[in-house]
């Protein structure tokens, strides 16, 4: 018994001496990343993490972030929200109260970003969600921003593009009724289309439920309705099925999509059926120039695949955060005050040149930025087609 | 087993036995007193001590997360936990045991409700002071308490009645949406429902009503499951209840009035620690009484052999309906509390993943046991948080743990054990 006590005491003392000394605390800027590393959408979490690590490399190479003439080292606090609302809230609270992060980037999907945004706003911590499109994320929350455009903007963009490009008058929509993003976009598209072409010009408005794989009855209705174009704002796995089944059923008119098509998997799964189709998105990988190309090449060189829009938006969000920190004058060391200063600086950002376009924040914290129309080329690459601005 | 063959005389037995003997004779009241002293110590001296030890902050969850992130901090964290928790709790519990035994002895002479309320008040004080140190602790504590309610209510069906029901996320969703719709509709200015119908100031007083209505809504849903359960058992009931879960989920997804797939937000934050604590205590107390009542015994009989129970005049249909509705009610209340902690409800949250979480808690803790459910729910919640720094490896360790438990204790850690409040509260004399 006595021997045991002596051993434990000795062990503790030696450990105390050996453990890294935190007496002379170096003040670092901590940035929280709330990402779905496990759960339903691990690929999104991976893109977020990789983009964040690349950004950190740059900052480290520059010796940290410069605020008011002083350079501060930067640390990332990457936490997994398991793509669950409950975990996202826990992680958010932990990062704010335990790790004392200055700013939070994420969560990505709305299911987590809406409740986590509430937490960030409660604790007056600036947060930017790169990918969430639900209006509730930023609504009445002065501390919450986002890096992407909203569905009410993207819907009309696509409607205008189809009208100008093809001159069609009758459109059909096929969407997932159980998923927040496609449903919202489908409704905004319908509204915009009917504003242009009059009521009833969306001749078929068909829906299905997540994980459905057979769309033949909906597609038959769409074909019967005489639609000239099909708009389907779905994710890559469904896009492949929808497009292939539509072609099998004899629908040979254009099919147009939204930014959820912008994954490398779309063409892998869909093959030749998708060649020549259009979709609207945040940026185009093929034919990119300047900083965008630089980012894509670096990312591909490092991780072996072309980054999708989540990675690009995360990259931009981190640069917005960096710019806000740099332009807030000085850091006082009192976290509450610094967070407020960063928030104010972020709200004032105008004409920020990101790799997904130029952006300025509105009162609500949503950016005004241009959308890109991408064409899938005959080689299966995403080609820049044209840029559409509000 | 070893002890009986050991040649050592009882006086010089092993250290473990000595520790056990040293701590025997301490009533629960003594332990709570010790914990109270520890959390008060941490509240006042925690910051200073962590600074002396060179820790950045007071460790949130007993230092586990810190150790996993930076293993070199182990001695510091151990010292902190030792100085703040282990030593004060054991010393206070030990040296106050004559006093606490006498108090517990006096209290037990009154109706045992008095003693129970006093114990619970002290326990709440411990929780309150402990969670006051950081918001993260508070949130973890609240969600753990809610997990206790959910696990316990599922145990009533899966453990006590022996039906494998998978519909619990559905009941949670009904309760969450039921309660949220009432609070948001009546007391909050919201884009879905517009201006509040009643003055928001009276909201907190009517919050329990909203929770109860949410629970009742879940009960009504449970009727849908109870009726087919008359004819089906085992796998078939599991499939029907799973279907029920999906029906509820897609029903909410298609109900535009409550936000559809976008979810329902802007719930007022009325799930304070006190509210959650009181509801959890009520839930544990009522469920504990239920399972020891005639009806609870009838549920046990249905589990063991339905036709024999029927032959012995147990009304199996009534038992099934009542048990399902009763369990669903508590799941609904838990769902309402949950929605007001997270302040958001999304149909996507009440799916297979949630079901897996709850089932893991029930089967880890132990079937047919109230203590087991509490241990399972708190254990899984704390473990899930504590292992967070391990990232993806967390999802290897937790399932592995579950497998080990299932191999060595197939019915769970603390299964088939009675939870006797009187036994817990009574004084313990020295052995």
What pLDDT, in 10s, does the model give residues A295-306? Answer: 999 999 999 988
- Residue B1 confidence (pLDDT): 38
Of the two residues A287 and B328, the one the predictor is more confident about is B328
Q: For chain B, how far is it from start to end, CA to CA, in angstroms?
A: 20
Closest CA to B276 of B131, B420, B373, B113: B131
Rounded distance between C-alpha atoms, residue A270 and residue A245, angstroms: 11
Mutate to test the interface with A, among B348, B360, B392, B394 (most CBs of A within 10 A): B348
CA atoms within 13 A on the CB side of A381: 10
Query: Residue A189 pLDDT > 90, yes or no?
Result: yes
Option in A37, A79, A111 nearest B263 (CB) = A111
- Strand-strand pairing, A255-257 and A352-354: unpaired
Q: Which of B78, B261, B266 is opposite residue A12, by nearest beta carbon? A: B78
Enumerate the residues of chain A whose CB falls inside 8 A of the CB of residue B349. Answer: 84-86, 111
Band of residue A106 on the pLDDT scale cut at 50, 70, 90: confident
Residues of B in contact with A152 (CB under 8 A): none
Residue A233 has pLDDT above 70, yes or no: yes
Q: Which residues in chain B have their CB less than 8 angstroms from residue A21's CB?
A: 54
Count of pairs with CB atoms under 8 A, one residue in A, one in B: 118
* Mean pLDDT across A105-120: 92
Q: Is the pLDDT of residue A349 over 80?
A: yes
Given B70, B135, B349, which is nearest A93 (Cβ)?
B135
Residue environment code for B108-124, b if the CB has 16+ CB neighbours within 10 A, otherwise e: beeeeeebbebbeebbe
- pLDDT at position A10: 60
Can you tell me which residue has the tokens 């900052």?
A: A59
Query: For position A275, what pLDDT does the model report?
Result: 92
Mean pLDDT on A338-367: 90
Cβ contacts (< 8 Å) between B346 and chain A: which residues?
Answer: 85, 111, 114
Most confident range (mean pLDDT) of A10-19, A205-214, B25-34, B284-293 is B284-293
What is the residue-averaged pLDDT of chain B? Answer: 88
Would you say the ipTM is above 0.90? no
Confidence band of B3 (pLDDT split at 50, 70, 90): very low
Q: Compute the nearest-CA separation of B293 from chain A (Å).
A: 35
Give start and end residues of each alpha helix (H) in A232-308.
Answer: 236-248, 264-270, 290-303
Inter-chain residue contact B135 with A96, CB threshold 8 Å: yes
State residue A23's pLDDT score. Answer: 39
Cβ–Cβ gap A86/B349 under 8 Å? yes
A158 pLDDT more than 80: yes
Identify all chain B residues contacting A11, using CB atoms and an 8 Å cutoff. Answer: 75
pLDDT at A387: 85
For the segment A153-161, the average pLDDT, to the nearest whole number, is 89
DSSP A335: H
Q: Kindly determine whether residue B391 and residue A179, on different chains, have CB atoms separated by under 8 Å.
A: no
Residues of B in contact with A123 (CB under 8 A): 135
Closest CA of chain B from A129, distance in Å = 16
Q: Which residues of A touch B60 (CB under 8 A)?
A: 94, 98
Q: How far apart are CA A185 and CA A110, in angstroms?
A: 14
Least confident of A148-152, B135-139, B382-386: A148-152
Identify from A35, A82, A136, A144 which residue to disrupt to test chain B contact, counting B C-beta atoms within 10 A and taking the largest count.
A136
- If you measure CA to CA, which chain B residue comes closest to A135? B262
Across chain A, mean pLDDT equals: 87
Tell me what pLDDT residue A8 has: 61
Test A15 with B75 for CB contact under 8 angstroms.
Answer: yes
Res A38 pLDDT > 80: yes
Provide the pLDDT for residue B96.
87
Give the per-residue pLDDT at B6: 44
What is the pLDDT at residue B429?
Answer: 66
The pLDDT score that the predictor gives to residue A173 is 95
């Amino acid at each position: 018994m006595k021997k045991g006590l002596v051993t434990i005491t000795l062990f503790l003392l030696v450990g105390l001496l050996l453990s890294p000394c935190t007496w002379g605390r170096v003040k670092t800027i901590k940035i929280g990343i709330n990402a779905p590393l496990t759960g339903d959408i691990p690929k999104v979490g991976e893109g977020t993490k990789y983009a964040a690590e690349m950004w950190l490399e740059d900052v480290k190479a520059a010796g940290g972030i410069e605020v008011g003439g002083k350079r501060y080292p930067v640390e990332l606090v990457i936490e997994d929200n398991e793509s669950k609302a409950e975990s996202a809230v826990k992680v958010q609270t932990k990062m704010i109260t335990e790790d004392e992060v200055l700013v939070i980037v994420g969560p990505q999907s709305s299911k987590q970003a809406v409740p986590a945004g509430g937490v960030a706003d409660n604790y007056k911590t600036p947060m930017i969600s790169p990918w969430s499109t639900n209006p509730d994320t930023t609504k009445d929350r002065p501390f919450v921003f986002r890096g992407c455009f909203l569905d009410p903007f993207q819907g009309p963009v696509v409607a205008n593009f189809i009208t100008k490009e093809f001159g069609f008058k009758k459109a059909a929509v096929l969407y997932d009724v159980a998923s927040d993003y496609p449903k919202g976009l489908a409704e905004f598209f319908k509204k915009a289309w009917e504003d242009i072409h009059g009521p009833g010009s969306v001749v078929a408005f068909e829906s299905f439920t997540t994980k459905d794989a057979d769309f033949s009855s909906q597609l038959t209705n769409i074909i019967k309705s005489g639609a000239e174009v099909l708009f389907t704002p779905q994710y890559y796995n469904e896009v492949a099925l929808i497009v292939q089944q539509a072609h099998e059923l004899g629908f040979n008119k254009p099919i147009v999509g939204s930014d959820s098509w912008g994954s490398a998997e779309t063409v892998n799964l869909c093959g030749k059926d998708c060649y020549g189709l259009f979709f609207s998105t945040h940026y185009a990988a093929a034919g990119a120039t300047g900083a965008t190309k630089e980012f894509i090449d670096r990312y591909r060189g490092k991780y072996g695949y072309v980054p999708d829009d989540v990675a690009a938006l995360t990259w931009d969000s981190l640069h917005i955060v960096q710019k806000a920190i740099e332009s807030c004058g000085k850091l006082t060391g009192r976290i509450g005050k610094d967070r407020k200063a960063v928030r104010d600086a972020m709200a004032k950002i105008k004409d920020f040149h990101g790799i997904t376009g130029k952006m300025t924040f509105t009162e609500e914290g949503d950016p005004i930025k241009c959308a890109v129309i991408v064409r899938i080329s005959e080689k299966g690459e995403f080609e820049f087609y044209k840029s559409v601005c509000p | 087993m070893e002890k009986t063959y050991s040649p050592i005389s009882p006086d010089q037995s092993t250290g473990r036995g000595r520790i056990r003997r040293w701590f025997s004779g301490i009533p629960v009241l003594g332990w709570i007193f010790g914990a109270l002293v520890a959390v008060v110590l941490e509240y006042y001296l925690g910051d200073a001590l962590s600074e002396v030890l060179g820790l950045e902050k007071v460790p949130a969850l007993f230092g586990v997360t810190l150790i996993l992130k930076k293993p070199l901090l182990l001695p510091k964290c151990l010292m902190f936990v030792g100085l703040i928790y282990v030593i004060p709790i054991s010393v206070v519990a030990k040296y106050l045991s004559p006093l606490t035994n006498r108090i517990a002895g006096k209290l037990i002479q009154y109706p045992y409700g008095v003693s129970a309320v006093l114990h619970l008040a002290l326990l709440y004080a411990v929780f309150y002071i402990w969670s006051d140190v950081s918001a993260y602790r508070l949130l973890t504590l609240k969600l753990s308490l809610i997990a206790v309610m959910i696990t316990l209510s599922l145990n009533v069906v899966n453990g006590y009645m022996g039906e494998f029901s998978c519909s619990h996320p559905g009941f949670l969703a009904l309760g969450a949406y039921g309660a949220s719709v009432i609070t948001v509709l009546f007391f909050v200015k919201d884009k879905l429902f517009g201006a509040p119908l009643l003055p928001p100031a009276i909201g907190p007083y009517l919050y329990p009503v909203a929770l109860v209505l949410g629970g009742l809504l879940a009960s009504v849903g449970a009727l849908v499951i109870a009726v087919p359960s008359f004819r089906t058992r085992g796998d078939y009931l599991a499939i029907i209840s799973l279907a029920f879960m999906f029906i509820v989920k897609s029903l909410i997804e298609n109900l535009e009035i409550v936000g559809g797939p976008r979810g329902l937000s802007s719930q007022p934050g009325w799930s304070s620690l006190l509210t959650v604590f009181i509801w959890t205590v009520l839930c544990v107390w009522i469920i504990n009484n239920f399972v020891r009542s005639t009806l609870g015994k009838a549920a046990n009989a249905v589990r063991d052999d339905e036709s024999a129970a029927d032959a012995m005049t147990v009304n199996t249909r009534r038992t099934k309906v009542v048990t399902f509705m009763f369990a669903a009610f508590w799941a609904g209340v838990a769902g309402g509390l949950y929605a007001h902690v997270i302040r958001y409800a999304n149909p996507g949250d009440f799916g297979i993943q949630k079901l897996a979480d709850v089932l893991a808690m029930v089967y880890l803790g132990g079937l047919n046991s109230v203590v087991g459910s509490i241990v399972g729910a708190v254990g899984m919640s704390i473990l899930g948080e504590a292992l967070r720094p391990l990232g993806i490896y967390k999802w290897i360790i937790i399932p592995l743990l579950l497998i080990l438990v299932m191999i060595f204790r197939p019915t769970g850690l603390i299964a088939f054990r009675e939870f006797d409040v009187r036994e817990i509260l009574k004084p313990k004399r020295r052995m």
